[in-house]
Amino acid sequence: MSDEKRDTGRGMRLPLWLMALLPLLALGLMLSVFAFADPLALFKSFLPPLEILSMERILVVEGGFETTLVNGGPDPVTVAQVMVDDAYWNFEIEPSAVIPRLGRARLSVPYPWVEGEPHILVVITNTGVTFEGEVPVATLSPTPGLREFGVYGLLGVYVGVIPVGLGMLWFPAMRRLGRKWLGAILALTLGLLVFLLVDTLLEALEVAAELPGVFQGTPLVLFSALLTWLLLLAVGSRRSTGANGRSSLYIATLIALSIGLHNLGEGMAIGAAFALGEAALGSFLVIGFTLHNITEGIGIAAPLLPVAGGTSGEGANEAQRQSPKLMHFLLLTLLAGAPAILGTWLGGFAFSPLLASIFLGVGVGAIWQVIVEVGRLLRGYASQTDAPLVSWPNVLGFFAGWAIMYLTAFLVSF
Protein backbone atom coordinates (compact mmCIF):
# COMPACT_ATOMS: atom_id res chain seq x y z
CA MET A 1 0.00 0.00 0.00
CA SER A 2 2.77 2.39 0.89
CA ASP A 3 4.49 1.64 -2.43
CA GLU A 4 1.32 2.56 -4.31
CA LYS A 5 1.07 5.91 -2.49
CA ARG A 6 4.74 6.60 -3.16
CA ASP A 7 4.26 5.93 -6.87
CA THR A 8 1.13 8.09 -6.99
CA GLY A 9 2.94 11.03 -5.31
CA ARG A 10 5.86 10.66 -7.68
CA GLY A 11 3.50 10.74 -10.65
CA MET A 12 1.90 14.01 -9.49
CA ARG A 13 5.18 15.90 -9.51
CA LEU A 14 5.33 18.83 -11.96
CA PRO A 15 7.98 18.90 -14.68
CA LEU A 16 11.10 20.89 -13.87
CA TRP A 17 10.50 23.42 -16.67
CA LEU A 18 7.01 24.16 -15.35
CA MET A 19 8.25 24.58 -11.78
CA ALA A 20 10.85 27.08 -13.05
CA LEU A 21 8.20 28.91 -15.10
CA LEU A 22 5.60 29.28 -12.33
CA PRO A 23 7.32 32.19 -10.48
CA LEU A 24 7.69 34.05 -13.78
CA LEU A 25 4.01 33.54 -14.59
CA ALA A 26 3.03 34.81 -11.14
CA LEU A 27 5.30 37.84 -11.57
CA GLY A 28 3.82 38.57 -15.00
CA LEU A 29 0.30 38.37 -13.55
CA MET A 30 1.15 40.81 -10.77
CA LEU A 31 2.75 43.28 -13.21
CA SER A 32 -0.30 43.04 -15.49
CA VAL A 33 -2.56 43.94 -12.58
CA PHE A 34 -0.48 47.01 -11.77
CA ALA A 35 -0.21 48.02 -15.44
CA PHE A 36 -3.89 47.71 -16.42
CA ALA A 37 -5.94 47.88 -13.19
CA ASP A 38 -3.77 50.63 -11.62
CA PRO A 39 -4.49 49.77 -7.97
CA LEU A 40 -2.45 52.80 -6.83
CA ALA A 41 -4.72 55.29 -8.61
CA LEU A 42 -6.28 56.32 -5.29
CA PHE A 43 -2.90 57.46 -3.97
CA LYS A 44 -2.01 59.33 -7.17
CA SER A 45 -5.31 61.17 -7.53
CA PHE A 46 -4.31 63.82 -4.99
CA LEU A 47 -0.83 64.40 -6.42
CA PRO A 48 0.11 66.84 -9.23
CA PRO A 49 1.65 65.27 -12.34
CA LEU A 50 5.43 64.87 -12.20
CA GLU A 51 6.93 66.39 -15.34
CA ILE A 52 10.54 65.77 -16.33
CA LEU A 53 11.48 67.04 -19.77
CA SER A 54 15.02 67.01 -21.15
CA MET A 55 16.20 69.13 -24.04
CA GLU A 56 18.95 67.61 -26.17
CA ARG A 57 21.46 69.67 -28.10
CA ILE A 58 19.87 72.72 -29.73
CA LEU A 59 20.79 72.87 -33.41
CA VAL A 60 21.12 76.25 -35.08
CA VAL A 61 19.65 75.99 -38.58
CA GLU A 62 18.77 78.46 -41.29
CA GLY A 63 15.96 80.59 -39.89
CA GLY A 64 15.70 79.14 -36.39
CA PHE A 65 16.43 76.39 -33.87
CA GLU A 66 15.74 72.66 -33.71
CA THR A 67 15.98 70.31 -30.76
CA THR A 68 14.65 67.01 -29.45
CA LEU A 69 12.57 66.85 -26.27
CA VAL A 70 12.70 63.67 -24.17
CA ASN A 71 10.10 62.89 -21.51
CA GLY A 72 11.97 61.14 -18.71
CA GLY A 73 9.14 61.40 -16.16
CA PRO A 74 6.31 59.02 -15.21
CA ASP A 75 3.53 61.16 -16.71
CA PRO A 76 2.80 62.51 -20.20
CA VAL A 77 3.93 66.10 -20.84
CA THR A 78 2.07 68.58 -23.03
CA VAL A 79 4.11 71.40 -24.59
CA ALA A 80 1.95 74.54 -24.55
CA GLN A 81 4.27 77.47 -25.27
CA VAL A 82 7.86 78.30 -26.22
CA MET A 83 9.87 81.39 -25.31
CA VAL A 84 13.07 82.58 -26.96
CA ASP A 85 15.02 85.33 -25.18
CA ASP A 86 12.06 86.16 -22.89
CA ALA A 87 9.59 86.48 -25.77
CA TYR A 88 6.84 84.03 -26.69
CA TRP A 89 7.43 82.52 -30.10
CA ASN A 90 5.70 80.29 -32.64
CA PHE A 91 6.85 76.70 -32.82
CA GLU A 92 6.22 73.37 -34.51
CA ILE A 93 6.43 70.02 -32.74
CA GLU A 94 6.33 66.52 -34.22
CA PRO A 95 4.74 64.04 -33.90
CA SER A 96 2.58 65.66 -31.22
CA ALA A 97 2.64 68.32 -28.51
CA VAL A 98 1.72 65.57 -26.03
CA ILE A 99 4.90 63.60 -25.27
CA PRO A 100 4.23 60.23 -23.62
CA ARG A 101 6.39 58.71 -20.93
CA LEU A 102 9.86 57.97 -22.36
CA GLY A 103 8.68 59.53 -25.62
CA ARG A 104 10.51 61.96 -27.89
CA ALA A 105 9.37 64.93 -29.97
CA ARG A 106 11.12 67.17 -32.48
CA LEU A 107 10.74 70.89 -31.72
CA SER A 108 11.34 73.51 -34.42
CA VAL A 109 11.33 77.24 -33.63
CA PRO A 110 11.61 79.81 -36.44
CA TYR A 111 13.73 82.64 -35.06
CA PRO A 112 16.02 85.34 -36.51
CA TRP A 113 19.07 84.39 -34.48
CA VAL A 114 22.14 86.62 -34.46
CA GLU A 115 25.54 85.20 -35.38
CA GLY A 116 27.82 84.93 -32.35
CA GLU A 117 25.12 85.88 -29.83
CA PRO A 118 23.77 83.65 -27.01
CA HIS A 119 20.08 82.68 -27.00
CA ILE A 120 17.86 81.10 -24.35
CA LEU A 121 15.10 78.66 -25.32
CA VAL A 122 12.35 77.94 -22.74
CA VAL A 123 9.66 75.27 -23.13
CA ILE A 124 6.47 75.76 -21.07
CA THR A 125 4.07 72.88 -20.40
CA ASN A 126 0.31 73.16 -19.95
CA THR A 127 0.80 73.03 -16.16
CA GLY A 128 3.17 76.01 -16.22
CA VAL A 129 6.39 74.07 -15.61
CA THR A 130 9.36 75.46 -17.57
CA PHE A 131 12.41 73.73 -19.03
CA GLU A 132 15.34 75.77 -20.33
CA GLY A 133 18.02 75.23 -22.93
CA GLU A 134 20.85 77.50 -24.06
CA VAL A 135 22.63 78.29 -27.30
CA PRO A 136 25.95 79.65 -25.96
CA VAL A 137 27.11 81.01 -29.31
CA ALA A 138 24.74 81.11 -32.26
CA THR A 139 26.47 79.70 -35.31
CA LEU A 140 25.15 77.45 -38.03
CA SER A 141 25.33 73.81 -36.88
CA PRO A 142 27.30 71.52 -39.22
CA THR A 143 25.35 69.15 -41.42
CA PRO A 144 26.80 65.77 -42.44
CA GLY A 145 28.58 65.89 -45.77
CA LEU A 146 31.79 64.70 -47.40
CA ARG A 147 33.59 68.00 -46.82
CA GLU A 148 32.39 68.26 -43.20
CA PHE A 149 33.42 64.67 -42.45
CA GLY A 150 36.83 65.39 -43.91
CA VAL A 151 37.32 68.56 -41.85
CA TYR A 152 36.22 66.96 -38.57
CA GLY A 153 38.22 63.81 -39.33
CA LEU A 154 41.33 65.92 -39.90
CA LEU A 155 40.67 67.59 -36.56
CA GLY A 156 40.70 64.13 -34.93
CA VAL A 157 44.02 63.38 -36.63
CA TYR A 158 45.49 66.61 -35.25
CA VAL A 159 44.44 66.01 -31.65
CA GLY A 160 44.71 62.20 -31.56
CA VAL A 161 46.92 60.40 -34.06
CA ILE A 162 49.71 62.95 -34.51
CA PRO A 163 50.35 63.64 -30.77
CA VAL A 164 50.49 59.93 -29.92
CA GLY A 165 52.87 59.34 -32.85
CA LEU A 166 55.11 62.19 -31.70
CA GLY A 167 55.24 60.71 -28.21
CA MET A 168 56.31 57.36 -29.69
CA LEU A 169 59.37 59.05 -31.19
CA TRP A 170 60.92 59.14 -27.71
CA PHE A 171 61.20 55.34 -27.70
CA PRO A 172 64.79 55.21 -29.09
CA ALA A 173 65.93 57.73 -26.48
CA MET A 174 64.22 55.82 -23.65
CA ARG A 175 65.77 52.59 -24.94
CA ARG A 176 69.28 54.01 -24.50
CA LEU A 177 68.64 55.13 -20.91
CA GLY A 178 69.18 51.60 -19.58
CA ARG A 179 67.66 49.65 -16.72
CA LYS A 180 68.29 52.15 -13.96
CA TRP A 181 65.76 54.55 -15.48
CA LEU A 182 63.10 51.98 -16.29
CA GLY A 183 61.39 52.30 -12.91
CA ALA A 184 61.10 56.07 -13.28
CA ILE A 185 59.70 55.74 -16.82
CA LEU A 186 57.10 53.17 -15.70
CA ALA A 187 56.20 55.40 -12.74
CA LEU A 188 55.79 58.34 -15.15
CA THR A 189 53.40 56.17 -17.19
CA LEU A 190 51.53 55.33 -14.02
CA GLY A 191 51.21 59.02 -13.15
CA LEU A 192 49.72 59.98 -16.49
CA LEU A 193 47.32 57.00 -16.36
CA VAL A 194 46.07 58.02 -12.91
CA PHE A 195 45.41 61.51 -14.25
CA LEU A 196 43.55 60.05 -17.24
CA LEU A 197 41.48 57.86 -14.91
CA VAL A 198 40.33 60.77 -12.78
CA ASP A 199 39.82 63.05 -15.79
CA THR A 200 37.77 60.45 -17.70
CA LEU A 201 35.65 59.57 -14.66
CA LEU A 202 34.81 63.21 -13.94
CA GLU A 203 34.01 63.82 -17.60
CA ALA A 204 31.79 60.72 -17.68
CA LEU A 205 29.86 61.82 -14.59
CA GLU A 206 29.44 65.31 -16.06
CA VAL A 207 27.99 63.90 -19.28
CA ALA A 208 25.82 61.42 -17.36
CA ALA A 209 24.29 64.30 -15.40
CA GLU A 210 22.76 65.56 -18.68
CA LEU A 211 20.79 62.33 -19.15
CA PRO A 212 17.15 62.07 -18.08
CA GLY A 213 16.86 60.45 -14.67
CA VAL A 214 15.20 57.36 -16.10
CA PHE A 215 18.48 56.38 -17.79
CA GLN A 216 20.36 56.46 -14.43
CA GLY A 217 23.47 58.06 -15.87
CA THR A 218 25.84 57.61 -12.92
CA PRO A 219 25.12 53.88 -12.39
CA LEU A 220 25.39 53.43 -16.18
CA VAL A 221 28.90 54.88 -16.14
CA LEU A 222 30.02 52.85 -13.13
CA PHE A 223 28.64 49.54 -14.40
CA SER A 224 30.13 50.15 -17.86
CA ALA A 225 33.50 50.62 -16.15
CA LEU A 226 33.03 47.52 -13.97
CA LEU A 227 32.02 45.26 -16.85
CA THR A 228 34.93 46.50 -18.98
CA TRP A 229 37.39 45.85 -16.16
CA LEU A 230 36.04 42.31 -15.64
CA LEU A 231 36.18 41.62 -19.37
CA LEU A 232 39.80 42.74 -19.57
CA LEU A 233 40.63 40.62 -16.53
CA ALA A 234 39.15 37.57 -18.27
CA VAL A 235 41.09 38.32 -21.47
CA GLY A 236 44.30 39.04 -19.55
CA SER A 237 44.13 35.74 -17.67
CA ARG A 238 44.83 33.97 -20.98
CA ARG A 239 47.72 36.23 -21.98
CA SER A 240 50.37 34.94 -19.58
CA THR A 241 53.87 34.45 -20.91
CA GLY A 242 55.10 32.10 -18.19
CA ALA A 243 57.88 33.19 -15.86
CA ASN A 244 58.30 36.60 -17.41
CA GLY A 245 54.66 37.60 -16.86
CA ARG A 246 52.43 39.10 -19.52
CA SER A 247 53.81 40.10 -22.91
CA SER A 248 55.11 43.65 -23.06
CA LEU A 249 53.36 44.09 -26.40
CA TYR A 250 50.07 43.02 -24.79
CA ILE A 251 50.48 45.60 -22.03
CA ALA A 252 51.33 48.31 -24.58
CA THR A 253 48.25 47.32 -26.60
CA LEU A 254 46.10 47.53 -23.48
CA ILE A 255 47.46 50.99 -22.73
CA ALA A 256 46.80 52.08 -26.32
CA LEU A 257 43.24 50.73 -26.14
CA SER A 258 42.47 52.57 -22.90
CA ILE A 259 43.98 55.80 -24.21
CA GLY A 260 42.00 55.34 -27.42
CA LEU A 261 38.76 55.12 -25.43
CA HIS A 262 39.78 58.25 -23.55
CA ASN A 263 40.55 60.02 -26.83
CA LEU A 264 37.15 58.96 -28.16
CA GLY A 265 35.49 60.93 -25.38
CA GLU A 266 37.96 63.75 -25.87
CA GLY A 267 37.16 63.85 -29.60
CA MET A 268 33.44 63.96 -28.84
CA ALA A 269 33.97 66.95 -26.58
CA ILE A 270 36.06 68.75 -29.21
CA GLY A 271 33.61 67.98 -32.02
CA ALA A 272 30.68 69.18 -29.93
CA ALA A 273 32.55 72.37 -28.99
CA PHE A 274 33.27 73.20 -32.62
CA ALA A 275 29.69 72.36 -33.63
CA LEU A 276 28.28 74.65 -30.95
CA GLY A 277 30.63 77.49 -31.82
CA GLU A 278 32.36 77.37 -28.44
CA ALA A 279 35.77 76.73 -30.03
CA ALA A 280 36.25 80.01 -31.84
CA LEU A 281 39.93 79.83 -30.93
CA GLY A 282 40.13 76.38 -32.49
CA SER A 283 43.82 76.53 -33.37
CA PHE A 284 44.76 77.19 -29.76
CA LEU A 285 42.53 74.31 -28.64
CA VAL A 286 44.19 71.92 -31.08
CA ILE A 287 47.67 73.02 -29.97
CA GLY A 288 46.72 72.47 -26.33
CA PHE A 289 45.37 68.97 -26.92
CA THR A 290 48.41 68.10 -29.03
CA LEU A 291 50.74 68.95 -26.15
CA HIS A 292 48.44 67.15 -23.74
CA ASN A 293 48.35 63.91 -25.76
CA ILE A 294 52.05 63.65 -26.62
CA THR A 295 52.69 62.18 -23.17
CA GLU A 296 50.28 59.36 -23.99
CA GLY A 297 52.70 58.11 -26.66
CA ILE A 298 55.45 57.88 -24.03
CA GLY A 299 53.15 55.83 -21.81
CA ILE A 300 52.39 53.38 -24.61
CA ALA A 301 56.06 52.97 -25.54
CA ALA A 302 57.34 52.47 -21.97
CA PRO A 303 56.40 48.75 -21.61
CA LEU A 304 58.06 48.04 -24.99
CA LEU A 305 61.53 48.82 -23.67
CA PRO A 306 63.67 45.66 -24.11
CA VAL A 307 64.78 45.69 -20.50
CA ALA A 308 61.15 45.28 -19.36
CA GLY A 309 61.00 41.64 -20.43
CA GLY A 310 63.59 40.13 -18.10
CA THR A 311 66.72 40.75 -16.10
CA SER A 312 69.64 39.09 -17.76
CA GLY A 313 70.56 35.97 -19.66
CA GLU A 314 67.51 34.20 -21.04
CA GLY A 315 65.16 36.92 -19.83
CA ALA A 316 67.07 39.61 -21.64
CA ASN A 317 67.34 37.51 -24.80
CA GLU A 318 63.60 36.90 -24.70
CA ALA A 319 63.03 40.66 -24.42
CA GLN A 320 65.30 41.26 -27.37
CA ARG A 321 63.43 38.69 -29.47
CA GLN A 322 60.19 40.51 -28.61
CA SER A 323 61.61 43.88 -29.66
CA PRO A 324 58.78 45.74 -31.40
CA LYS A 325 58.81 46.46 -35.10
CA LEU A 326 57.80 49.63 -36.92
CA MET A 327 54.43 48.07 -37.78
CA HIS A 328 53.74 47.57 -34.06
CA PHE A 329 54.29 51.26 -33.40
CA LEU A 330 52.04 52.26 -36.31
CA LEU A 331 49.22 49.99 -35.16
CA LEU A 332 49.53 51.16 -31.55
CA THR A 333 49.45 54.79 -32.71
CA LEU A 334 46.26 54.17 -34.69
CA LEU A 335 44.66 52.23 -31.82
CA ALA A 336 45.30 55.09 -29.40
CA GLY A 337 44.75 58.06 -31.72
CA ALA A 338 42.21 57.05 -34.38
CA PRO A 339 39.23 56.92 -31.94
CA ALA A 340 39.57 60.71 -31.68
CA ILE A 341 38.49 60.87 -35.34
CA LEU A 342 35.32 58.89 -34.60
CA GLY A 343 34.79 61.05 -31.53
CA THR A 344 34.90 64.31 -33.50
CA TRP A 345 32.36 62.89 -35.97
CA LEU A 346 30.01 61.81 -33.20
CA GLY A 347 30.45 65.07 -31.29
CA GLY A 348 30.00 67.23 -34.37
CA PHE A 349 27.05 65.50 -36.04
CA ALA A 350 25.30 63.09 -33.66
CA PHE A 351 26.26 63.82 -30.06
CA SER A 352 24.43 61.52 -27.65
CA PRO A 353 24.91 61.85 -23.88
CA LEU A 354 23.81 58.21 -23.52
CA LEU A 355 26.49 56.87 -25.87
CA ALA A 356 29.07 59.26 -24.47
CA SER A 357 28.38 58.02 -20.93
CA ILE A 358 28.78 54.39 -22.01
CA PHE A 359 31.98 55.03 -23.98
CA LEU A 360 33.55 57.06 -21.19
CA GLY A 361 32.55 54.42 -18.63
CA VAL A 362 34.24 51.78 -20.77
CA GLY A 363 37.30 54.04 -20.87
CA VAL A 364 37.36 54.28 -17.07
CA GLY A 365 37.32 50.49 -16.71
CA ALA A 366 40.06 50.04 -19.32
CA ILE A 367 42.33 52.68 -17.79
CA TRP A 368 41.93 51.12 -14.35
CA GLN A 369 43.02 47.72 -15.65
CA VAL A 370 46.01 49.35 -17.36
CA ILE A 371 47.01 50.95 -14.06
CA VAL A 372 46.91 47.49 -12.47
CA GLU A 373 49.07 46.03 -15.26
CA VAL A 374 51.66 48.82 -15.20
CA GLY A 375 51.73 48.68 -11.40
CA ARG A 376 52.44 44.93 -11.63
CA LEU A 377 55.20 45.65 -14.16
CA LEU A 378 56.75 48.27 -11.89
CA ARG A 379 56.54 45.96 -8.88
CA GLY A 380 58.21 43.15 -10.85
CA TYR A 381 61.02 45.47 -11.92
CA ALA A 382 61.58 46.54 -8.32
CA SER A 383 61.79 42.93 -7.13
CA GLN A 384 64.22 42.01 -9.94
CA THR A 385 66.61 44.82 -9.01
CA ASP A 386 66.14 44.50 -5.22
CA ALA A 387 65.04 48.14 -5.21
CA PRO A 388 62.17 49.55 -3.14
CA LEU A 389 58.90 50.01 -5.01
CA VAL A 390 58.38 53.48 -3.53
CA SER A 391 61.76 55.01 -4.26
CA TRP A 392 62.68 58.61 -5.00
CA PRO A 393 63.09 58.02 -8.76
CA ASN A 394 59.69 56.29 -8.88
CA VAL A 395 57.97 58.99 -6.83
CA LEU A 396 59.50 61.75 -8.97
CA GLY A 397 58.56 59.86 -12.15
CA PHE A 398 54.96 59.45 -10.97
CA PHE A 399 54.73 63.12 -10.06
CA ALA A 400 56.28 64.14 -13.39
CA GLY A 401 53.71 62.09 -15.34
CA TRP A 402 50.82 63.57 -13.38
CA ALA A 403 52.23 67.12 -13.54
CA ILE A 404 52.76 67.03 -17.31
CA MET A 405 49.17 65.90 -17.89
CA TYR A 406 47.83 68.47 -15.45
CA LEU A 407 49.76 71.39 -16.90
CA THR A 408 48.89 70.55 -20.50
CA ALA A 409 45.23 70.04 -19.52
CA PHE A 410 45.36 73.45 -17.86
CA LEU A 411 46.68 74.86 -21.12
CA VAL A 412 43.70 73.39 -22.99
CA SER A 413 41.23 74.91 -20.51
CA PHE A 414 42.99 78.28 -20.25
Question: What confidence tier does 40 reach under pLDDT thresholds 50, 70, 90?
Answer: low
More confident residue, 409 or 204: 204
Q: Most confidently modeled of 30-34, 143-147, 394-398?
A: 394-398
Question: What confidence tier does 321 reach under pLDDT thresholds 50, 70, 90?
Answer: very low
Residue-wise pLDDT for 175-217, tens only, equals 877 666 778 888 888 888 899 899 889 988 988 888 877 788 8
C-alpha 301/C-alpha 251 separation (Å) is 10
C-alpha 238/C-alpha 247 separation (Å) is 11
More confident residue, 380 or 163: 163
CA separation, residue 183 to residues 132, 384, 393 (Å):
52, 11, 7
Residue-wise pLDDT for 210-263, tens only, equals 887 778 889 999 999 999 898 888 776 665 543 344 578 888 888 898 888 888
**Quick one: CA torsion of 312, 315, 321, 324, rounded to 10 degrees?**
-90
Question: What's the topology of domain 53-135?
Answer: Immunoglobulin-like (2.60.40)
pLDDT score, position 320: 42
Q: Most confidently modeled of 31-45, 158-172, 271-285?
A: 158-172
Cα dihedral sign, 270-272-275-281: negative
Q: Which stretch of 16-25, 200-209, 323-332, 378-387 has the lowest confidence by average pLDDT?
A: 378-387
C-alpha 338/C-alpha 344 separation (Å) is 10
Residue-wise pLDDT for 82-99, tens only, equals 999 989 999 999 999 999
pLDDT score, position 5: 53
Residue-wise pLDDT for 251-296, tens only, equals 888 889 888 888 887 788 788 777 766 655 455 666 767 777 787 8
pLDDT score, position 322: 53
CB atoms near residue 297 (< 10 Å): 26
pLDDT score, position 30: 82
Per-residue pLDDT, averaged over 113-124, amounts to 91
% of the chain with per-residue pLDDT over 90 = 19
% of the chain with per-residue pLDDT over 70 = 82
Entry pTM: 0.73
pLDDT score, position 15: 83
C-alpha 141/C-alpha 274 separation (Å) is 9
More confident residue, 393 or 6: 393
Residue 323 has pLDDT above 80, yes or no: no
- Kind of pairing, strands 77-84 and 98-99? antiparallel
